[in-house]
Structure 1
Amino acid sequence: MLPPRAYFFIGLNIIRVLSIVALVLVFASNIVTLVHDVEAVNRFMAAKGSDVSASNSTITDMLNCDYIEDSTVPNQPAGIFWAVLNRLLIIGQTVVLVLSELGWPSKFFDRFFPVLGKDFGLGALGVIQCLIGAAILSHFVDDFTLVSAFFLFSIGCLNIFVGLIFRQGAKSKRSITSWREHAKSALPTHVAGVPVAPIVTHAPSFVSNVFGNEKERHSTASDGSEASTTSSKASLGFGRQGEKAAAMKGYFISKPLESLPRYAPK
């Protein structure tokens, strides 16, 4: 039986993989759409500059359309510029989002794009994915681009939902490095529902006052006694002397709770 954090880790990383796949599909589909738009504009410009008779109704209808035929480019001044710029911006956004999902470079995102950094959740990522999907779906596109954009929009909604649940802790729960750091701890963290993780804390002020005189006595000793004290501290071990030396420095080490096995007689 896996702990709950293992299920969170697996589920969040599955969503991350689906998000990366959707972004890669949108990246590829927008390149294909960009190529088709450029080819359609070239055909449109060739038909516009041809010496065909003005009575040809097909050419006239094509020139008077709101959009260039077989493309997403509007038939207006600088329409091709804005259409190509839109596709390039979408491609650039997908690249940035893929890098943020991979967590590289993390320092760059933490400094220049904090909403995509490790200290924020998945809500902002989902909103950006939904905006990209809506921008693509608002145009007439081919089947490949349509499916990719709809898939990205669905993953964006899922990321928003997950971000509302886990908030800023979503990325830390799915992080592989944090999982490894947590796995390094060999001591139990809970016994019978009570947290018993080893916690090193500073001692209260009265403890420092109690052991203060002893510290002063050690400070007034000669150089020879200091050398002997240093050698004795190096071999204090984990017994009473070691605990006393740690308390003199102002630290306490918590002990696990004492408990009896279930089969022990009461």
Structure 2
Amino acid sequence: MLPPRAYVFIGLNAVRLLSVVALILVFASNIVTLVHDVKAVNRFMEEGKAATEGGASGTSGNATLSALMDFDYISGSTVPNQPAGAFWAVLNRLFIIGQTIVLILSEIGWPSKFFTLYFPVLGKDFGLGALGLIQMLIGAAILSHRVDTFTLVSAFLLFSVGCLNVFLGLIFREKAKAKRSVTSWRDHAKSALPTHIGPIDVRPAMNAGSQYMSQKGSFGTPFSTPPSFVSHHHTGSTVSEDGKLPGEGLGFGRRATEKAAKNGFLTRTPEPTLPSYVAKAG
């Protein structure tokens, strides 16, 4: 059974995949709608030109021209029949296409530095709330016009995903993108491994040191008797061949290394290591 963090990771990435799919569908549907609008505007202008030429010769042309001007929208398009209506309709579609491209890159997370510097609300330091609001605005802008079935379904899907992103943003807040990030998951897996050696029990060394001091007595003072004059009459024991009192440790120096080699033990100096944040020499 997976840990809870794994289910959160899978769920957030599933929503991200659905968001990318919805944005791609909206991108494609708006290109199709833009092409249809341009064709409808060209057809409307041709009909208006023909009606104007016919109006010069009779009343039928004037009636046709007035009938064309009575429509609120150009037939077969989302372009309003008003001054500069075609310009604003095309500009609106271009804006929507540009926004979908930016949101797709934001969902992919590339380039992250660009979003961190110029669009912080879409960067990795912010949650999914701002992303969801932008998706809802795009979906509402498309659904506010009469469009074909493909564009209608794409916009409705994007609006629904936007609502879901807003809900997830309220739950996870600024940690949402970090929880669904693949790199953060890998870093968390690395941090689960031990990166340092635990504390060393120094009590045996302290006990050996205290025992050594108790056996050594006052030899360390300026007026003490040198160790070479110590005999079994004073301490109840004799000095060993290597000049050490019984129970006295050899420490970590050259003599300890030689003593260990005589007993069949090999010592090795550990290789020097640097922390992970220190750059290696080139």
Q: Distance between the aligned counterparts of 1:156 and 1:186, measured in 2?
A: 34
Residue equivalent to 1:159: 165
Percent identity over paired residues:
72
Measure the CA separation in 1 of the matches of 2:38 and 2:147. 14
Q: Does 1:34 align with 2:24?
A: no
Cross-structure match for 1:48: 48
Q: Deviations over 1:137-195 (max 9, x none)?
A: 0001000000000000000000000000000000000000011111123537xxxxxxx
Aligned counterpart in structure 1 of residue 81 of structure 2, from 66, 69, 75: 75
Please give the alpha-carbon distance, in whole angstroms, between the structure 2 residues aligned to 1:19 and 1:183: 27
> CA shift at 1:36, angstroms?
0.4
1:187 and 2:221 correspond = no
* Structure-to-structure mapping, 1:133-144, within 5 angstroms: 133-144=139-150
Q: Which protein, 1 or 2, shows the higher relative CO under an 8 Å CA cutoff with sep ≥ 6?
A: 1
What is residue 12 of structure 1 aligned with on the other side? 12
Deviation readout 1:25-47 (Å, 9 max, x if unpaired): 00000000000000000000000
Q: Which residue of 2 aligns with 1:88?
A: 94
> Aligned with 1:55: secondary structure?
helix
> Cα 1:186–1:166, aligned 2, differ >3 Å: closer, same or farther?
closer
Bigger mean CA offset, 56-65 vs 71-80? 56-65
Work out the CA distance in 2 between the residues paired with 1:41 and 1:75.
Answer: 10
Residue 173 in 1 paired to residue 179 in 2? yes
Counterpart-to-counterpart distance in 1, 2:196 and 2:177: 26
The letter for the 2-side match of 1:26 is: V
Return the letter of the residue paired with 2:40: A
2:228 is aligned to: none
Partners in 2 of 1:120 and 1:180 — Cα distance? 20
Q: CA deviation at 1:64?
A: 1.9
Q: Which runs of 5+ in 2 are unaligned?
A: 199-252, 254-267, 272-282
Q: Secondary structure of 1:41's match?
A: helix
Q: What is the aligned partner in structure 1 of residue 269 from structure 2? A: 235
Alignment counterpart, residue 120 of structure 1, candidates 117, 126, 129: 126
CA–CA distance in 2 between the matches of 1:199 and 1:134? 57
1:185 & 1:122 partners in 2: Cα distance? 26
**What is the alpha-carbon root mean square deviation over aligned residues?**
2.4
* C-alpha distance in 2 between matches for 1:12 and 1:60: 55
SS in 1 for 2:54: coil
Look up the SS of the partner of 1:49 in the other structure.
helix
User: How far apart are residue 62 of structure 1 and its match?
Assistant: 2.2
> C-alpha separation between the residues in 2 aligned to 1:117 and 1:198?
33
Q: Which residue of 1 aligns with 2:68?
A: 62
Match of 1:263 in 2: none
The C-alpha deviation readout for 1:115-144, integer Å capped at 9, x for no partner, is 000000000000000000000000010000
Aligned to 2:106: 100
Q: Deviations over 1:230-257 (max 9, x none)?
A: xxxx9368xxxxxxxxxxxxxxxxxxxx
Deviations 1:180-220 (A, max 9, x none): 111123537xxxxxxxx9799xxxxxxxxxxxxxxxxxxxx
- What 5-or-longer segments of structure 1 have no aligned partner? 189-196, 201-227, 229-233, 238-266
Instruction: Please report the TM-score for the alignment, with normalisation by the length of structure 2.
Output: 0.66
TM-score normalised over the length of structure 1: 0.70
